[in-house]
Structure 1
Amino acid sequence: MNWLSAFFRRLVAALRRSAELAYIAVSWPFRARHSEAGKKSLIFRLAVSAVVLVLIAAYGQFLWRTQVWYGFDPEFAKSYGFADRKVAAGQQIADKPGSCQNSAIVTTVADLTDMNVNQNIWVSSTLLYKLGFFGLDWDDTPFFDNKASFQRGVNQVARRVAIELADNLGRVRGTSGINSDLQDARGNIQFDEFTWYFGANPFGFKTPTPSYYRAAIRSWRRFNSDLETCKAVFDARADNLVQLMDRAANDLGNTSDILRRRSEDHNAGWFDTRADDRFWFAYGQLYAQYALFQAARADFGDVIRERNLTAIWTEMEKQMEAALRIQPAIISNGSEDGIIMPNHLSTMGFYILRVRSNMVELRSVLER
């Protein structure tokens, strides 16, 4: 393990050197403008100290925001009690005249997005994340990018579901008008993931990413309120479930291919600096899909019972649950039979393919 000790010694030395360079970079303008006597003045020392303290406070806050995950619970959807629902989404509730069942899918996608931008800071659009590590993109380092990648994985699923809600699920057989709330939510959740308050392309002040995502949350909640009072529709037909399943399976297939290519082309164990963001993006995607398919099981309850899909659906959820138990402290992209440096990307890719296989099977049964 001498090589490991040497690696950590070099890492500490590099961090110390980076701190020295940061001090030099901050103090250089003052050194250039002041004489030898000015350098030793109280004003000079206070100015440099103030800038350093601001940087320390800013990066301390950045460290907290990226390392503390609020609301993280792969099993959170079970707390809704979706399994106890007896009425499919959009159907009238017999013992509550004038009331209809709201959509579990809409509830879940709104709460997933709420976790991303309200319970937590949306990391990808924060200033320090955009500035990177001394100009190097955080995604190209092993530091501080896991939460951002996880959030983008969750958001990728939210974007996909927003399209299906607006185009198919929230209208009758695709022939009625698009629900305005679902249309607004679809547009807002598709907004760029990296926008801060100011940008260069185009140059000027901007509305940051989280504001758009919060607007999407409000639109989804308004739709569900209208659905509860039977003022909106949710078309829980088998072909709409096929469409939803097909899109989700395609997304997982794409993610599996990304993991495979990373695993094969950059087999560097713990030293693959992009393995962690690939892993946590895939994890976020499965995290969101696991919750949404528990919700879909409630919204499409009649279809699932009529087509005898309960056993296959339960198996799919078990595979997702098993994948979400993989939470290594350090992501390794080593050999597949490695002991010291295993291959977490291959393991995640294996579970993703099993989940996708279940989705394909469900889709084939629904199309018969």
Structure 2
Amino acid sequence: MKFGKGMFGSKSTGGSTAGSAQGQRSTLVVNVLLGLLLIYLVLCLFVGWYWNREPGIMPLVSASPAQTEMVEGEMTVETVEALMVTLLNKPGGYLTNDIMPPGVWLDNMPHWEFGVLVQIRDITRAMRRDMARSQSQSAEDPDLARAEPLFHFDNKSWIMPATESEYSDGLEALNRYAVRLRAGEADFYARADNLGSWLGDVSTRLGSMSQRLSASVGQAPVTDGSRPREQTPWLEIDDVFYESRGSAWALVHLLRAVEIDFADIIAKKNAQASLQQIIRELEATQEPLWSPMVLNGGGFGMLANHSLVMANYLSRANAALIDLRRLMEQG
């Protein structure tokens, strides 16, 4: 009996040792997985910070060495192309439709992208509707007719077809128009009425953005007609701010291009000062944001209200833009 008892005791010790080894291996696997997860999260943090940086203001596109000078309208078309290329190829690419980290975690850049996209859509529509047509009964340009609806494709689609694919097709159509324009096979009419029509769209956008930015403050409701203006929810204040910042970034480039393509009509209307003021006000919206977040201080308190600062610049730009549009409409 003692011998049998010894055998059973030996079995028990062996089982305990095996169980302990298995537990150590499980703990080791868990620790390795946690370590890899931590490394992944740290990498996502740094990559996300890099991807979330806004592009700076770009220099204007110059004529190629084979050209002695740029044709009328080429600067505007090339600038629209450059804006779309930046939207698709900046660090991280187009982030609005990302479904994987770190892109899916980023909040500010997708709204910045939407602000840029709105301006690309507006100027492309203006070119298709007015600038590439001699009169209202003229046939529209086929490449612009192809590009404009592609730029209005769902900006959050990530598969079958992906947003980037549709925007790239639109970019190719826009590039075909630019090639034909340089070859004298397409038209661009730099007239005062065409410029004034697009400026009206821009003014509407700036006015709307100014109102949305101003709605960040918690004051008594202000009525626009019969509808009260509601305060922007706290979690959406930075969304409106970065959308406005992206829109202003795109407008700086477009107005610089317009200054060249419509130079004759701007000089004839003595509108250089108004246009330069608009560009200066919009450039001021691109100053670095030193705070780690968009602040929403009220009144004359200790904290800034970044939304109201942005609204101030946009309102002043819009006032000058209204003057510029009035000059375009005068005979």
Task: Provide the TM-score with structure 2 as the length reference.
Answer: 0.78
Judge conservation of contact 2:45–2:102 (CA < 8 Å) in 1: no
Residue 122 (1) aligns with residue 76 (2): no
1:108 paired with 2:70, answer no
Question: Using a 3 Å threshold, how does the CA distance of structure 1 residues 43 and 309 change in structure 2: closer, same or farther?
Answer: same
Map residues 281-296 of structure 1 onto 2, 5 A cutoff.
281-296=243-258
Whether 1:207 and 2:161 are equivalent positions in the alignment is yes
Rg larger in structure: 2
1:149 equivalent in alignment to 2:103: no
- Which of 36, 56, 73 is the matching residue for 1:73? 56
Is the contact between residue 44 and residue 101 of structure 2 (CA under 8 Å) also seen in structure 1?
no
1:159 to 121, 134, 145: 121
Distance change in 2, residues 1:46/1:322 (3 Å): same
Task: Note if 1:220 corresponds to 2:174.
Answer: yes
Aligned to 1:325: 287
Instruction: Tell me, yes or no, if the aligned pair for 2:73 and 2:189 is still in contact at 8 Å.
Output: no
Q: Contact between 2:52 and 2:108, CA under 8 Å: does it hold in 1?
A: no
Give the Cα separation in 1 of the matches to 2:299 and 2:169.
44
Q: Is the 8 A contact 2:47 2:102 kept in 1?
A: no
Q: Which amino acid aligns with 2:107?
A: D
Query: Match for 1:147: what amino acid?
Result: M
Q: Distance in 1 between matches of 2:322 and 2:174?
A: 28
Compute the TM-score of the two structures, normalised by the length of structure 1: 0.71
1:338 equivalent among 284, 292, 301: 301
User: Relative to structure 1, is the Cα distance of residues 52 and 211 closer, same or farther in structure 2, using a 3 angstrom cutoff?
Assistant: farther
> Among residues 134, 159, 182, which one is paired with 1:172 in the alignment?
134
Structure 1's 309 and 332: CA in aligned 2 closer, same or farther, altered over 3 A?
same
Q: 1-side partners of 2:75 and 2:314: how far apart?
A: 24
State the match for 1:6 in structure 2.
Answer: none
After superposition, the Cα gap between the structure-2 partners of 1:63 and 1:171, relative to the gap in structure 1 and judged at 3 Å, is: farther
- Report if aligned partners of 1:336, 1:346 keep a CA contact under 8 Å in 2: no
Shift of 1:324: 2.0
Is the contact made by 1:181 and 1:220 (CA closer than 8 Å) also made in structure 2? yes
Question: 1:185, 1:217 within 8 Å by CA — same for their partners in 2?
Answer: yes
**Cα offset, 1:265, TM superposition:** 6.6
Per mean C-alpha deviation after superposition, the further-off stretch among 282-291 and 59-68 is 59-68
Q: 1:284, 1:170 → 2: CA distance?
A: 26
Shift of 1:279: 1.1
Distance 2:286 2:103 in 1: 31
Letter in 2 for 1:229: A
1:277 aligns to 2:243 (yes or no): no
Summarize the alignment of residues 1-368 of structure 1 with structure 2, pairs less than 5 Å apart. 40=23, 46=29, 53=36, 57=40, 60-61=43-44, 64-65=47-48, 67-68=50-51, 72-74=55-57, 76-77=58-59, 79-80=60-61, 100-120=71-91, 121-128=93-100, 144-197=106-159, 206-264=160-218, 272-325=234-287, 327-329=289-291, 330-339=293-302, 341-368=303-330
Percent pairwise identity: 22
How big is the shift at 1:42? 5.2
- Which runs of no fewer than 5 residues in structure 2 stay unpaired? 1-18, 221-232
Partner of 1:124, secondary structure, is: coil
Distance 1:183 1:65, change over 3 A: farther
- CA-atom RMSD, angstroms? 3.2
- Choose 275-284 or 167-176, whichever is displaced more: 167-176
Which consecutive unaligned segments of at least 5 residues does structure 1 have?
Answer: 1-35, 83-92, 133-137, 139-143, 198-205
Counterpart code for 1:231: E
CA–CA distance in structure 1, aligned partners of residues 103 and 262 of structure 2: 45
Residues 155-202 of structure 1: per-residue CA shift (max 9 Å, x gap): 1111111111111112222322211211111111111111112xxxxx
> Alignment length, in residue pairs?
295
Contact 1:238 1:366 in 2 (8 A): yes
Residues 166, 183 of structure 1: 8 Å contact kept:
yes
The residue number in structure 1 matching 2:4 is none
* Letter matched to residue 214 of structure 1: S
